[in-house]
Amino acid sequence: MAELRETEERRFVRKYVRENDRTYRVVRFLLKPVANFLCHPSYEGQENIPESGSVILAANHRHAADPAFLSLATERTVHYLAKKEMHESPLGFFYRLAQTIPVDRQHKDAKSYAAAKAALDLERVIGIFPEGTRNPHPEELLPFKYGAVSLAAKTGAAIVPMAICGEIKPFSKNIHIVIGEAYHIAKDADLNIENEKLREVIAQLYERGTV
């Protein structure tokens, strides 16, 4: 049974984390002019995203379009962890083209965790929304899930905290993404402390971006 699970896990990783990221780059190329035309997002601190090595982008979550705006903050390939229902929706083909990793939020999902780790082993960028769901009240962040800090501790990947500020509405032109400094988490760190630290940093970035 353990061998069967391992085989399923490997198939899952190969399906969602491919060494060739051409489809992601095509999607990003098509998405950029649309996002810029509709919302004119602005960015602060893009230089804080490392140009190489494994990175975890961690941000607050307000809107279904959030991954698009974070992806445009860097030229690097970003694999987002997205609830599996998005892959099963009519837009599932788009999520697959964008190389997102489906997550079963109802159960402990070892396959998704393995896929995220595999992407980091390829020195890619992972995008995670630690709140776990969209938050209609961004001035008060929801309690954070542990995926971001756990992956950072186990893989040595840098965490880059980010805050999405402003209302995501067509032609609103007030979307502002604030990007904090990258930092690392020790393998033996207390994840409770690190999770709260990440939450506080993102809250501070959000406050800075809405002044």
Higher pLDDT, 5 or 117: 117
Q: 134-155, pLDDT tens digit by residue?
A: 898 878 999 999 999 999 999 9
Domain residues for the domain of 169 are 2-209
pLDDT tens profile 74-107:
999 898 888 888 777 776 777 777 778 888 877 7
With a cut of 70, say whether residue 62 has pLDDT above it: yes
pLDDT of residue 40: 85
pLDDT of residue 24: 82
d(CA 25, CA 99): 10
The helix-helix angle for 110-121 and 147-155 (nearest 10°) equals 50
Q: What's the pLDDT score for residue 130? A: 94
Q: With pLDDT > 70 as the criterion, what percentage of the chain qualifies?
A: 95
How many degrees, rounded to 5, is the angle at CA 132 between CA 128 and CA 137? 110
Query: What is the per-residue pLDDT for 207?
Result: 92
Q: What is the dihedral of CA 198, 70, 187, 112, to 10 degrees?
A: 120
List, for residues 127-138, the tens digit of each pLDDT value. Answer: 999 998 889 887
Q: pTM for this structure?
A: 0.88
Each residue's pLDDT tens digit, 2-18: 555 568 888 888 888 87
Q: What is the CATH number of the domain that holds 83?
A: 3.40.1130.10
Tens of pLDDT, residue by residue over 144-187, are 999 999 999 999 999 999 999 987 777 777 889 999 999 999 99
For the chain, how many structural domains are there in total?
1
DSSP codes, 5-27: HHHHHHHHHHHH--S--HHHHHH
